[in-house]
């Protein structure tokens, strides 16, 4: 009898993995496994109070483009929120914001890295900040605005009326666009030099508001960041990646935006007409905010940062600290 009992025990042990595997499958289907490939990974948050905890914390009160109403601080350097060189390619690899442990990229479980959306109006500093944040976190950076500028410039060069929605949409659909840092190519031809020329300022908001153009470029932006990364734009947190792991919306006063825009032109060795820039900034923000497709606005769960009296590194540190917390 003892021998028969041992045989039954051995048979029971031999058959035991199946229930455990089934239990694991039930556990994974329920979404409670640490590295369930079916759930969205992203870095885990540290303790926060209910008002600030990501991802559904309420945005700060106040209008998105209000200057803040607080006393102005020190006058900061010319390069504030603009000096942003890209690092080596090895430093821009896809990686998790929490590389040690968890299920982000680099954990060996095939889960994708985090997506960080940084939105804001013209000259809000989103591109400069986004590049620096990407470098700090070891993530690739994508400036979505360069795609719209490339299509606008191509349309002008080919004599296409920016108000001809069908023709501009066809151009966007047929053009291969590549972005690397601050450089942009269209069908293999680099367009970086002069991509910010004032000659295209009036047409840019028109082209950017065409539904067909936005649909085409949004799909490409999603593919470009499917492995994770930092993306800057005007509708990244609301349209392109509404389920982004982290969302930030940068604002600045009109005077500060004009100062930054002028500094940007001067860094490229171009003449800066501040009065013309003021009109350009006002027009662009008004058009972007009121357009029916993907209007400029912060996502409900975005962290809004007034950048008027902050250095570039201070803005970057706020974002990086939130992501790593």
Residue 176 phi/psi, 5-degree rounding, is -90, 120
Strand order in the sheet with 183-186: 177-180, 183-186, 189-190
- In the chain, the largest separation of any two C-alpha atoms, in whole Å, equals 100
Cα(34)–Cα(13) distance, integer angstroms: 27
Count of beta carbons in the 10 Å neighbourhood of residue 160? 18
**Is the whole model's pTM more than 0.85, yes or no?**
no
Checking 40-47 for CB contacts under 8 A at 24+ apart, the result is 40/243, 40/245, 41/102, 41/103, 41/104, 41/111, 41/112, 41/114, 42/104, 42/114, 42/245, 43/96, 43/97, 43/98, 43/102, 43/104, 43/114, 43/245, 43/323, 43/324, 44/98, 44/102, 45/325, 46/325
Cα(230)–Cα(235) distance, integer angstroms: 13
CATH numbers and ranges of domains, the chain: 94-324 (3.40.50.300)
Over its C-alpha atoms, the chain yields an Rg (Å, rounded) of: 24
What's the rounded mean pLDDT across residues 14-40? Answer: 39
In the DSSP assignment, the letter for residue 85 is -
Instruction: List C-alpha distances in Å: 179 to 125, 231, 291, 300.
Output: 18, 12, 26, 29
Burial of 25 (0-12, 13-18, 19+ CB in 10 A): exposed
- The per-residue pLDDT for range 90-146, each reduced to its tens digit, is 333 333 344 333 343 333 344 457 999 999 998 999 999 999 999 999 999 999 999
Bridge partners of 184, per DSSP, are 179
Cα(270)–Cα(255) distance, integer angstroms: 20
Give the per-residue pLDDT at 238: 97
- The per-residue pLDDT for range 211-244, each reduced to its tens digit, is 999 999 999 999 999 889 999 999 999 999 999 9
Q: What share of the chain is helix, strand, coil (3-state, %, to 5)?
A: 40, 10, 45
Joined together, the tokens standing for residue 78 give 């010319």
Q: CA 240, 241, 247 angle in degrees (round to 5)? A: 120
Distance between first and last Cα of the chain: 61
- The per-residue pLDDT for range 165-217, each reduced to its tens digit, is 999 999 999 999 999 988 999 999 999 998 988 789 889 999 999 999 999 99
Q: How many CA atoms lie within 13 A of 192 on its CB side?
A: 12
């Amino acid at each position: 009898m003892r021998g028969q009992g041992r045989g039954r025990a051995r048979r029971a042990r031999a058959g035991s993995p199946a229930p455990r595997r089934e239990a694991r499958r039930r556990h994974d289907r329920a979404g409670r496994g640490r590295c369930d490939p079916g759930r969205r990974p992203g870095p885990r948050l540290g303790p926060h109070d209910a008002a600030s905890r990501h991802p559904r914390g309420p945005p700060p009160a106040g209008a998105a483009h209000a200057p803040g109403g607080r006393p102005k601080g020190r006058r900061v350097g010319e390069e504030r929120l603009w000096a942003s060189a890209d690092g080596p390619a090895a430093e821009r690899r896809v990686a998790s914001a929490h590389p040690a442990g968890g299920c982000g990229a680099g954990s060996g479980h095939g889960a994708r890295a985090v997506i960080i959306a940084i939105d804001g109006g013209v000259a809000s500093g989103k591109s400069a900040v986004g590049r620096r944040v990407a470098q700090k976190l070891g993530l690739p950076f994508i400036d979505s605005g360069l795609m719209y500028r490339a299509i606008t410039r191509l349309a002008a060069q080919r004599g296409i009326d920016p108000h001809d929605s069908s023709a501009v949409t066809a151009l966007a659909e047929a053009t291969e666009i590549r972005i690397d840092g601050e450089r942009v190519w269209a069908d293999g031809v680099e367009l970086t030099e002069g991509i910010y020329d004032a000659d295209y300022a009036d047409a840019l908001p028109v082209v950017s508001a065409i539904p067909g153009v936005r649909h085409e470029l949004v799909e490409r932006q999603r593919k470009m960041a499917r492995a994770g990364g930092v993306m800057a734009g005007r509708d990244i947190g609301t349209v392109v990646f509404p389920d982004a792991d982290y969302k930030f919306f940068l604002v600045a006063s009109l005077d500060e935006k004009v100062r930054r825009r002028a500094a940007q032109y001067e860094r490229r060795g171009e003449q800066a007409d501040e009065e013309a820039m003021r009109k350009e900034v006002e027009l662009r923000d008004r058009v972007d905010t009121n357009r029916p497709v993907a209007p400029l606005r912060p996502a409900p769960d975005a962290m809004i940062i007034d950048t008027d009296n902050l250095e570039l590194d201070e803005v970057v540190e706020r974002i990086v600290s939130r992501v790593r917390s």
